[in-house]
Structure 1
Amino acid sequence: MEEKNTSNERDVVNNIGTSKIVSKKNKKKKYKKFLTIGIVLIVLILVFYSFMNKNNKAVNMMSNIDYSTQTVTRNDIKVTLTGSGTLKPANSYTVTTLISGEILNAPFEEGDIVEEDTVLYEIDSSDAKTNLEKAELNVSQSKKSYDRLLESLDDLNVKASDSGTVVNIDVKKGDSVQPGQVLATIRNSDTMSITLAFSSDDVEAFYVGQSATLTVEGTYEDINGTISSIKNVEEVIDGYKLVKRVTINVKNTGGLSTSDKATAVINNTACVESSNFTYITEEDIKASISGDVVSIKVDEGDSVSKGQLMVVLESTTINDNIDSSERNLRDAELSLENQYENLDEYTFKSPISGTIIEKNYKVGDKLESGKNLCTIFDLSYLTMTLNVDELDISQIVVGQKVNITAEAVENKTYVGEVTKISINGTTTNGVTVYPVTIRIDETEGLLPGMNVDASIDVVNKENVLSVPISAVARGNRVLVKKQGSSNTEEEKEPKKDKNSNESPLEGYEYVQVEVGISNDDYIEIISGLKEGDEIAFANQIPSFQNNMNGFYVEPEMENSAPNGGEQMSDGEHRNEGGRP
């Protein structure tokens, strides 16, 4: 029993000790919690105090704003777009060579004024002339070859060499023929010819065209004829007789043939011996080239005239040769044209009228392909490009006058004109501008490359109701003196505690107005005010920023003129006074 009681006493003691330890831990946790809450409250109080302190400073500064009063009047308002740019010549050209060689002539200097097509450089062209001569010879040879083939093509059409009768056709359609092969025979039997020998001494008195009487052997028929030719070469017949041959033509009435013989008497002189008649013409028609017979245009017994078509041949080889020769001729002609053009490249002419700005090569210099020889500027007028904002481009039209000034030329204003408005705009950082080209004709004192300022009057309104631009507050409101209110110094003092919707001045109230165009000084009042109304506006508008907490305090008064801003990059514009 004693041991059990002792054990129970120990348990009680242990439990009491454990409770004391837990109680100490709970107290520490509650202490840390209260400490954290206290720190957060202190920080919030400090932040609130800082904000209120800065806001009070802003209110105090607002309470120190100085106000001016003015009467609503009428003024002239002009809106101008301005910008800057760099002058460029009306036209420019850099003469570049595609050939090489020695410069033989360069009759100009920098500063010279040249006309279009004036010779600037002449380059040694001896090699080019040699190549040109070779090309000319090649064309000549190709042309002759082509013409010969065309003539051979004409040989496919076989024609009668003389008038007569077709006595024989030696080919049929589809036959293949070779050069020299007889195709047909033509005979002229209307006139018969006979050649007789006369004594040489007697022939001396004969002449061509002289009449002769012929006697046909067997029938003893007399026929009249005419001497057609006399052969002056003497011959010896029968061993001792000297004779000359005389040819006589007679009309064939149909009874004569080559088997008939005759004698003749000329000027009472008889021939030495008789001879057989011959046809005045009997000719074989032969093929000049090889080919196949595709058509026979005459029949045996037909009468034909000289040059009449008789047989048509076809030759694939000739057609192919003609096509090839035609291509060769065209190639030669193109090569010749290229050589002429190449020769022209050895003489450089001015492509435009203008002033020589740079001369990079002189006589005697060795020229390499791809080099710039000289530069020419057309200075008859100058141009500049003004980049106009997308919001203002609709106010620009071709023909508008532009005032141009340059720092390099003091106390002088030049007049330009808008000549082009490009629709190819450029967008940068969400802003699109359009290039407007301006031409300046009167350029005395100006040079390409000079920086100039340009201004364009886009709107000009005269005698419009207006107020100072600083008199219009946010939301297009203007402080206007109340009716019946006196104008004392006390009333001009701003209120210490004011609401943003209340007037900051005693005796004045905000009036909603409708505004129009504006410039740097005045803004047009379309409605809401009348001429003679007294208005008030701040002389200075403070603004500041608390660098510790980032809060920004902005006063109630602000410029509410229409959009438009300054863009300082070269060639861009700025709107001096907004847009309507």
Structure 2
Amino acid sequence: MKRFFATWWGKLIIVVIVVAIGFGTYYGVRAYINRNSGNVQQAGQFATVAARKGSITVSINGTGTMEPAAQEDVIIDGSGTIKKMYFKESDTVKKGDLMYEIENESLPLSIKQAELNIKQMQLSADDIEGQISKAIVTIPNAGLLDLNVSEGEQVSLNMPVATVQDISVLSLAVSVYGQQAGSIKEGQSVTITVSGVSGSFNGKVVQVTQSASSVQGGSGSGNSAPQIAVSQERDTTDTNDIEQPAQAMAVIDVTNRGSKLRISQTASAVIKTDTGNVSAFGQLSAKSSPVQIKAPISGKIQTLYVSDGVIVSKGQKLLKFDTAILQNNLDVQNTKIEQAQLDLQNQKAQLDKLKVYAPIGGVIITQNVEEGDNVNDISQASSSSSNDQQSALSSNISSPLNSSSGSVSSTSKGNVAATIADVGKFQVSIAVDELDINKIKVGQKAVITADALPDQSFVGEVIDVEDQGTSQNGVTTYDVTVAFDRVQDMKTGMTADVEIIAAQKDNIVIVPIEAVMERNGKKFVIIYDEANTTLQQNNMREVKTGINNESYIEITEGLKKGEKVMLTSAASQNSNASFPGVVPPGMGGLPGNTQRQGTSGRAGFMPQGLNR
């Protein structure tokens, strides 16, 4: 081989190859510049380009796998036996369709028993509340009080604690003898006085009983009447057979003004008759029977509101029972009722769960039960069948989705009887580099293509951007999910290319990204001056920029359409250029241009008037 290249024709071949490589490199670079820089011109030894109006689209590219956008497990969260199944695997269901009926014979009986228990407990609570409401005892009628108990005393139910005697009207019974007995009549007015009590009291004869009697031999007849009328003068010469005067028994109602009078006091009465006043005397007695007050509950008397022997009025407080124990018992009972009600609600919820409905519409991709199965055995079957979800109905289904898509892939809440996938809408998840993730927002549009569906593109939308990234080999990426409508021939598992439109501006001033430099945090361009083709620092002009992609950048201030600028890549290579502090592209220049291999795709340039 060395001898061949030592010959003249060998050397000639080498020269030809070198020349060919040189021309190829020149024309390749020239074609690249023309393709990416628009109207790039050569001005002497410098490349220039005119600022022009156009559009910039910033897009993020990635690749993922198509899968249903919604997938949810059908959970049987109860117990019993599957009595009826209404759908089989691969059937299409609508949301709310009845899928299973579960039979549990013991549950209705248990609910009935729980309801009866709650009623019984409520009756006990009501009884305690009733007792608490009776803790304060009031006086049923006005009168003279006679207490039988004291504070701190423990009393039992219905034990007499006091009596009240009505003394507003008292009764006075007197006897009148002789001729005056015949003058006593009902309705006559009476004036009553009692020794030791000031003033007089009014009364009225309400009942009169008259009778006649005789005494043999002048001896007493043995009459035991306690009231004796004023003595009469009579002839006593015949002592063997003396005829006694007539006797009248009179009952008088005495109005007890100011309740000054008391039962058993001796009272004098003056009856106003047609023949004159008749005087008599007797003992005051009660006109009505005393009212007994009994303990309405058992317990300890905490407070006495009145003293023994006083005049009381109707409705006045008599005493109060200590209710601390009753209140504690009520709290305990109410807690039991509350717990029992919660248990009853849970049982009723279990009863409602004996009918299982489709949580979403779609295709049943797996079914783990059969009629007659015990619900408690479903979990074992579902755990084994879940491994087959990817292969079952491979043309329409996918494996369980992550939580961001709203799917349910766990069995933590109950037993998985089936899995339904909504195959009407698909989604793709792509990994986006950490340098680009903040450009992605939920709601942004995306374009989806697939090699398996040539000459077709589908419009989608970003529905989720993960907050938690994944790091590998020093690079962090974040999952972004794009949803789109499924069309015919679209299958689960197909590889899809996704282009997310992160930003787009139309009819703006743009230049190639190589035309912009950065110095001390500011952006500059080098203005091309035809009169002075040498590069000088005073040719630099500060500009303000907007969005950019890998090829073009927006100029918002400092440059007009048609003005020519020099490409910094060419300027940086010229030996006459002298711009201290200027950073050309590829050496820490403009932000947003860095792309990491295998994460986000390149951003594209869209000419003016061409909208996606």
Give TM-score scaled by structure 1 length.
0.55
Which structure 2 residues correspond to residues 103-252 of structure 1 after superposition, within 5 A?
103-109=82-88, 110-116=90-96, 118-160=97-139, 162-190=140-168, 222-223=205-206
Q: Please name the residue that 2:595 is paired with.
A: 564
Q: Confirm or deny that 1:297 pairs with 2:305.
A: yes
Q: Is the 8 A contact 1:193 1:280 kept in 2?
A: no
Q: Is the 8 A contact 2:304 2:318 kept in 1?
A: yes
Distance 1:405 1:187, change over 3 A: same
Pairwise CA distance, 1:326: 2.8
Which letter does structure 2 place at the counterpart of 1:322? L
Q: Please name the residue that 1:310 is paired with.
A: 318
> How far, CA to CA, are the matches of 1:251 and 1:124 in structure 2?
81
Which letter does structure 2 place at the counterpart of 1:112? T
Q: Is the 8 A contact 2:62 2:600 kept in 1?
A: yes
Q: Is the 8 A contact 1:295 1:311 kept in 2?
A: yes
Distance 1:182 1:461, change over 3 A: closer
Of 284, 291, 311, the match for 1:283 = 291
Which shifted more, 459-468 or 172-181?
Answer: 459-468
> How far, CA to CA, are the matches of 1:467 and 1:290 in structure 2?
97
Which structure 2 residues correspond to residues 374-523 of structure 1 after superposition, within 5 A?
374-379=418-423, 381-441=425-485, 443-457=487-501
Q: SS at the partner of 2:161? A: strand
Pairwise CA distance, 1:434: 1.9
Deviations 1:192-218 (A, max 9, x none): 899xxxxxxxxxxxxxxxxxx78999x
Pairwise CA distance, 1:102: 1.6
Q: Please name the residue that 1:341 is paired with.
A: 349
Q: Is the 8 A contact 1:187 1:279 kept in 2?
A: no
Q: SS at the partner of 1:340? A: helix
Q: SS at the partner of 1:134? A: helix
Pairwise CA distance, 1:87: 2.9
> How far, CA to CA, are the matches of 2:554 and 2:78 in structure 1?
70
Q: SS at the partner of 1:83? A: strand
Q: SS at the partner of 2:420? A: strand
Give TM-score scaled by structure 2 length.
0.52
Q: SS at the partner of 2:149? A: coil
Distance 1:192 1:136, change over 3 A: farther
Q: SS at the partner of 2:306? A: coil
Q: Is the 8 A contact 2:204 2:252 kept in 1?
A: no
> How far, CA to CA, are the matches of 1:325 and 1:84 in structure 2?
64
> How far, CA to CA, are the matches of 2:417 and 2:462 in structure 1?
34
Pairwise CA distance, 1:285: 1.1
Q: Confirm or deny that 1:575 pairs with 2:612.
A: no
Q: SS at the partner of 1:574? A: coil
Q: Is the 8 A contact 1:170 1:184 kept in 2?
A: yes
> How far, CA to CA, are the matches of 1:179 and 1:532 in structure 2?
109
Pairwise CA distance, 1:343: 2.2
Distance 1:318 1:89, change over 3 A: same
Deviations 1:311-349 (A, max 9, x none): 112155434433333333233223222222232332223
Distance 1:214 1:385, change over 3 A: farther
Q: Is the 8 A contact 2:552 2:605 kept in 1?
A: no
Q: Please name the residue that 2:199 is paired with.
A: none
Deviations 1:532-569 (A, max 9, x none): 99xxx9xxxxxxxxxxxxxxxxxxxx9x99642541xx
> How far, CA to CA, are the matches of 1:222 and 1:413 in structure 2?
119
Distance 1:329 1:576, change over 3 A: closer
Deviations 1:375-424 (A, max 9, x none): 22345533322211122234434433211112343322110122333332
Pairwise CA distance, 1:459: 6.0
Q: SS at the partner of 1:417? A: strand
Q: Is the 8 A contact 1:192 1:251 kept in 2?
A: yes
Q: Please name the residue that 1:253 is paired with.
A: 255
Distance 1:461 1:144, change over 3 A: closer
Pairwise CA distance, 1:252: 6.2
Which letter does structure 1 place at the counterpart of 2:320? V
Q: Is the 8 A contact 2:423 2:486 kept in 1?
A: no
Q: Confirm or deny that 1:364 pairs with 2:372.
A: yes
Deviations 1:448-503 (A, max 9, x none): 544321123456788966699xxxxxxxxxxxxxxxxxxxxxxxxxxxxxxxxxxx
Distance 1:466 1:174, change over 3 A: closer
Pairwise CA distance, 1:277: 8.4
Pairwise CA distance, 1:430: 0.7
Deviations 1:221-246 (A, max 9, x none): 64399xxxxxxxxxxxxxxxxxxxxx
Distance 1:459 1:563, change over 3 A: farther
Alignment coverage as a number of residue pairs: 393
Q: SS at the partner of 1:147? A: helix
> How far, CA to CA, are the matches of 1:58 and 1:189 in structure 2?
149
Q: Is the 8 A contact 1:135 1:332 kept in 2?
A: yes
Q: SS at the partner of 1:173? A: coil
Q: Is the 8 A contact 1:403 1:413 kept in 2?
A: yes
Q: Is the 8 A contact 1:167 1:185 kept in 2?
A: yes
Distance 1:453 1:215, change over 3 A: same
> How far, CA to CA, are the matches of 2:123 and 2:112 in structure 1?
17
Gaps of 5+ in 2: 1-13, 40-51, 173-185, 193-202, 209-250, 267-283, 380-414, 515-546, 571-585, 607-612
Gaps of 5+ in 1: 1-56, 195-212, 226-248, 261-275, 469-515, 538-557
Distance 1:256 1:368, change over 3 A: closer
Identity of counterpart residues, as a percentage?
25
Which letter does structure 1 place at the counterpart of 2:128? L
Q: Is the 8 A contact 1:179 1:287 kept in 2?
A: yes
